[in-house]
A = this chain, B = another copy of it.
Amino acid sequence: MLFHVRMDVQLPPAMPVAQADELKKNERELAQSLQRSGKWRHLWRIAGQYANFSVFDVNSVDELHALLTSLPLFPYMKIEINPMCRHPSSVRDTDA
């Protein structure tokens, strides 16, 4: 089941660099692990923004919520979710 997610990150200006780096390193490791598992199906940087467009493939809304709230940067994110389904004109099997 596919969900389109936009995440905008805003770290507090006063956060020490070391803490920010640690957060980003942990975020990256978890993001890569979730991509390899197939749960985080697509991940793109939005040009000029500290933000991404993502597509998640999960079994339930609860699983989506658990994944998003487990992200180290979650407390600093504005998140926007749109549920998606197969488009009737789609010809690509992996987009279902």
Contacts and interface: CB of A to CB of B under 8 A. Distances in A.
B46 A89 contact: no
Contact of A81 (B31, B64, B83): B83
24 contacts: A1-B61, A2-B44, A2-B61, A3-B83, A4-B44, A4-B46, A27-B89, A28-B88, A32-B89, A42-B42, A42-B92, A44-B84, A44-B87, A45-B84, A45-B85, A46-B82, A46-B83, A47-B68, A47-B84, A48-B64, A53-B84, A61-B85, A62-B86, A81-B83
Contacts of A89: 27-28, 31-32, 35, 43
Total copies of the chain: 10
Interface string A49-87: 100110100001110110011000001000101111111
